[in-house]
Amino acid sequence: MDTKCFDVAVIGAGPAGMAVACACAERGLTTAVVAPQPTRPWPQRFGVWGAELRGRLEAESFAEVFSRPFVQLDERRRIELGTEYARLDTQTLHDHLHARARDVVLFDASVTEVVHAPRVSHLHLREGEPIQATVVVDASGAGSPFVQREGRDAPAFQAAYGEVIDVKAHPYRQGEMALMDFRGDEEGVPTFLYAMPLSPTRVFVEETSLVARPAVPYETLQRRLYRRLHRMGLEVESTLDRELCLIPMGGSLPRRSQRIVAFGAAGGMVHPATGYQVARALRLAPVAAEALERGLRTGPLHAARSAYEVIWPRAQLRAWELYRFGMLVLCDLDRVQLRAFMDAFFRLPPATWQGFMQGSLSPTEICSAMWRVFGFATSDLRQTLLAMGTNRRGSRLLLRAAMPGNPL
């Protein structure tokens, strides 16, 4: 085993950890990744907006590209989104990152503790000798125990139950996929169908709760999915695979003054209102690596600071509070209001709603988008939005957006 001191040790071999480790190694930094079974395939099916990663990933990383994603609010109202949506080929993405990681040293181990000395950090492992590194990147997923956070805001959850099913035929035409299909959603917390045809007789169907607190249980989602498939007249011939999805969203962000650089889901990078994260991690990995390299010339604390400055610049912190406000709103809307909200949201110009979903708008653009959604909203929804903007939780987030870093 290599016992030298690495420039960078990354905890976790998920998409975020591998992307940042590759980017560090490609800049000539000696890099380690520590994770149990670090080459193990990732189980998730990642969906991304095509434009987000076009040109950044090899073409074969896109398993399916849908040119006609849509949102179906009820029997009559269907919104054609007019932009590409893609499913990533998780195995290909995984293999590409591992191929790029040829200079990264992989350790098959779990980190139990990180202890900082003035110029080096020691990663204690459940299995084997400690590893030393000048700077530690924590990409160990949501709920990491190693990251200090700015506050104690509890997350809300996106929950979904999905199956890949074979059917005689499905209703989706060439290029179509249902980003949200609300038809027949008739009780309790709102959920919708997310459906991706994989062939003329195979489809991935997922009953999804966009964001809720507490999480909608899997049994509820599964029951609703089966009812929905029955209503749609889809006869399931066989079930090939299942997906259980629980994504914590909108918890407190990492403290920017700490020595550990939190990245990916560990670093609060999951979009609080949509649950998307992977594209963001892939985009930010080279930027974070460049900042780490620059900062490492002056020591570990500088390296961490300079990484946090590019991952969480002040404008992004303000934007995140606004997205978290969006999450609060979504958690509190009932079924009718959620549909009215989506109807208003997708009336925004495509670049604006896409920017919102990808988390790439500036705080001013988000505020302007929110006002426009308010303007498009029904009067019932407007009253609810006003109440949320002025109640204690909502106004706290809006104030924090004006004064980021303030532990209001």
Ligand X SMILES: Cc1cc2nc3c(=O)[nH]c(=O)nc-3n(C[C@H](O)[C@H](O)[C@H](O)COP(=O)(O)OP(=O)(O)OC[C@H]3O[C@@H](n4cnc5c(N)ncnc54)[C@H](O)[C@@H]3O)c2cc1C
Buried b / exposed e along 300-321 (16+ C-beta atoms within 10 A): bbbbbbbbbebbbeeebbbbbb
Structure tokens at 85: 């949506």
- Is residue 268 near ligand X by the rule CB under 6 A? no
Q: Taking contact as CB under 6 A, which single stretch among the options 1-9, 211-219, 272-280, 291-299 is the one that binds ligand X?
A: 272-280
- Length of the chain measured in residues: 408
Structure tokens at 131: 């590893």
- Is residue 15 near ligand X by the rule CB under 6 A? yes
Q: Which is nearer to ligand X, 208 or 306 (CB)?
A: 208
- Is residue 133 near ligand X by the rule CB under 6 A? no
Query: Which 8-state DSSP code applies to residue 201?
Result: T
- Is residue 389 near ligand X by the rule CB under 6 A? no
- Is residue 130 near ligand X by the rule CB under 6 A? no
Q: What angle do CA 16, 259, 137 make, to 5 degrees?
A: 15
CB 292 within 8 A of CB 29: yes
Q: Taking contact as CB under 6 A, which single stretch among the options 168-176, 276-284, 354-362, 396-404 is the one that binds ligand X?
A: 276-284
CB 166 within 8 A of CB 58: no
How near is the Cβ of 157 to ligand X at its closest, in Å? Answer: 10
Helix, strand, coil in percent for the chain, rounding step 5: 40, 30, 35
According to CB under 6 A, which one of 34, 137, 284, 385 is a site residue for ligand X?
34
- Is residue 261 near ligand X by the rule CB under 6 A? no
How near is the Cβ of 195 to ligand X at its closest, in Å? Answer: 14
Binding residues for ligand X, total number by CB under 6 A? 30
CB 183 within 8 A of CB 224: no
According to CB under 6 A, which one of 66, 157, 194, 276 is a site residue for ligand X?
276
- Is residue 105 near ligand X by the rule CB under 6 A? no
According to CB under 6 A, which one of 20, 97, 111, 288 is a site residue for ligand X?
111
According to CB under 6 A, which one of 9, 10, 13, 397 is a site residue for ligand X?
13
Buried b / exposed e along 237-252 (16+ C-beta atoms within 10 A): eeeeeeeebebbbbbb
Give, rounded to a whole angstrom, the gap between the first and last alpha carbons of the chain: 47
Q: Taking contact as CB under 6 A, which single stretch among the options 198-206, 265-273, 310-318, 354-362 is the one that binds ligand X?
A: 265-273
- Secondary structure class of 190 (helix, strand, coil): coil
Q: Partners of 114 in the beta sheet?
A: 123
- Is residue 254 near ligand X by the rule CB under 6 A? no
- Contacting ligand X within 359-378 (CB under 6 A): none
- Secondary structure class of 306 (helix, strand, coil): helix
According to CB under 6 A, which one of 8, 9, 10, 16 is a site residue for ligand X?
16
According to CB under 6 A, which one of 30, 132, 134, 277 is a site residue for ligand X?
277
Mask for 311-350, x = binds ligand X (CB under 6 A): ----------------------------------------
According to CB under 6 A, which one of 20, 139, 381, 401 is a site residue for ligand X?
139
Tally Cβ neighbours within 10 Å of residue 270: 24
- Is residue 32 near ligand X by the rule CB under 6 A? no
List Cα–Cα distances, 235 to 3, 207, 311, in angstroms.
Answer: 57, 17, 46
CB 34 within 8 A of CB 72: no
According to CB under 6 A, which one of 103, 153, 243, 290 is a site residue for ligand X?
243
- Is residue 215 near ligand X by the rule CB under 6 A? no
- Contacting ligand X within 35-64 (CB under 6 A): 35-36, 44, 46-47
Q: Which is nearer to ligand X, 155 or 264 (CB)?
A: 264
CB 280 within 8 A of CB 176: no
- Is residue 264 near ligand X by the rule CB under 6 A? yes
One-letter amino acid for residue 144 of the chain: S
Match 């994989």 to its residue by tokens.
Answer: 198
According to CB under 6 A, which one of 6, 8, 17, 358 is a site residue for ligand X?
17
Q: Taking contact as CB under 6 A, which single stretch among the options 9-17, 74-82, 321-329, 369-377 is the one that binds ligand X?
A: 9-17
Strand-strand pairing, 176-181 and 68-72: parallel
Q: What angle do CA 390, 247, 306 make, to 5 degrees?
A: 80
Interaction site with ligand X (CB under 6 A): 11-17, 34-36, 44, 46-47, 110-111, 139-141, 243, 245, 247, 264-266, 270, 275-279
